[in-house]
């Protein structure tokens, strides 16, 4: 099993057919990046699919789409899609939760996004329950912060920055999967593209205790479709069944609930990588700046992959947990997939 993780370095890239000139940028790590000059910004934007809003663009195209889904019961759910072909993910621990996580996790996976990651950062969203809720464990950058529990729903980030969702110990990890980080939380909302029987329950023993007696509270969820595209769903008033409906509507094959209650639901998306993120869930209590300034709870950063003349390289040695700042390597000798290290191609 290979262990690794993601933090990021940005280098401008060109995708022209003629080999561009390259420049060398020292990273202060003994490594260098070769990168052609940043291309001129285009003003032509692709049309989003019907019913979706184009929310973020990166070097490879659309990095985020958003829409509002209205459930059969009239609840409004904000859904964000992060395409597999243009985005990668990075789990961060909070300053307070998981307990002791900030001291165990390397700096690139700490309570705020790092300077290099920020240059590619185009989104971020909340993680799962506090560890004292017994909802599951956490592994970040190959370091187990809280023991993983078989049978729990798991958000799994591989060393190429992709996300998978499944039941830990049976559906994930798959044989040979190169794990970076794992965030467990409760049980699945959606499995095999269908809402699970548990999703119809409002039992706090299954889905967590709410603020007040009304089970329709702020809730969030994460799902993945058959193509590997990732979906975040959030609302300030929803039932578990509402989240399941939302995930089924976008053809998620598996989905899990993340955090609940008003203080914790936070989704931010930037129009372009490196720009300030904008709040996405109507009524959310916090600006997404909490993720770049430092936050008390775990969260997931979303980064834009570089142009196809570049590779996003995750070079942590197999079997080693620790700091793992991946590199964006550009130029004619570094086209996507050209590295022997795990690459988000």
Where would I find the H helices in the chain? Answer: 101-104, 115-118, 204-207, 240-249, 290-293
334: containing domain: 53-344
pTM: 0.83
What is the per-residue pLDDT for 26? 28
**Could you tell me if residue 279 is inside a domain?**
yes
**Could you tell me if residue 110 is inside a domain?**
yes
Quote the tokens at residue 48.
């989003």
Count the domains in the chain: 1
**Could you tell me if residue 186 is inside a domain?**
yes
Residues whose CB falls within 8 Å of the CB of residue 191, separated by 6 or more in sequence, listed in order: 167, 253, 254
Ordered mean pLDDT values, 10 residues apiece, the chain (345 residues): 35 39 32 37 75 96 98 95 96 94 87 88 98 95 94 95 97 93 98 98 95 93 99 98 98 99 98 98 98 97 86 56 61 42 40
What is the per-residue pLDDT for 227? 98
**Could you tell me if residue 26 is inside a domain?**
no
Query: Rounded CA gap, 236 and 259, in Å?
Result: 11
**Could you tell me if residue 306 is inside a domain?**
yes
Judge contact between 277 and 124, C-beta under 8 A.
yes
**Could you tell me if residue 238 is inside a domain?**
yes
**Could you tell me if residue 40 is inside a domain?**
no
**Could you tell me if residue 240 is inside a domain?**
yes
């Amino acid at each position: 099993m290979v262990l690794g993780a993601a933090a990021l370095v940005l280098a401008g890239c060109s995708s022209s057919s003629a080999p561009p000139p390259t420049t060398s940028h020292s990273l202060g790590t003994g490594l260098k990046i070769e990168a052609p000059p940043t291309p001129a910004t285009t003003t032509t934007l692709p049309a989003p699919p019907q019913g979706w809003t184009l929310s973020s663009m990166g070097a490879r195209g659309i990095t985020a789409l958003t829409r509002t889904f209205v459930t059969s019961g009239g609840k409004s759910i904000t859904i964000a899609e992060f395409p597999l072909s243009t985005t990668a993910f990075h789990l961060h621990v909070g300053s307070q939760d998981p307990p002791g996580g900030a001291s165990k996790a390397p700096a690139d996976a700490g309570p705020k996004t790092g300077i290099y990651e920020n240059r590619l950062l185009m989104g971020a969203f909340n993680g799962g329950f506090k560890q004292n809720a017994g909802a599951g464990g956490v592994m970040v950058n190959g370091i187990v912060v809280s023991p993983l529990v078989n049978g729990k729903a798991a958000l799994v980030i591989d060393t190429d920055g992709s996300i998978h969702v499944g039941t830990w110990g049976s559906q994930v990890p798959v044989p040979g999967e190169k794990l970076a980080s794992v965030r467990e939380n409760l049980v699945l909302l959606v499995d095999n593209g269908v809402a699970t029987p548990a999703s119809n329950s409002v039992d706090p023993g299954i889905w967590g205790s709410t603020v007040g007696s009304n089970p329709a509270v702020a809730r969030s969820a994460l799902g993945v479709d058959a193509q590997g595209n990732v979906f975040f769903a959030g609302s300030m008033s929803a039932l578990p069944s509402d989240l399941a409906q939302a995930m089924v509507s976008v053809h998620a094959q598996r989905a899990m609930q993340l955090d609940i209650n008003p203080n914790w639901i936070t989704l931010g998306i930037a129009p372009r990588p490196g720009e300030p993120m904008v709040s996405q869930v109507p009524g959310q209590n916090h600006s997404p700046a909490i993720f770049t300034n430092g936050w008390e709870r775990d969260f997931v950063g979303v980064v834009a992959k570089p142009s196809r003349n570049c590779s996003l390289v995750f070079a942590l040695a197999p079997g080693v947990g620790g700091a793992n700042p991946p590199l964006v390597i550009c130029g004619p000798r570094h086209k996507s997939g050209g590295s022997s290290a795990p690459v988000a191609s």
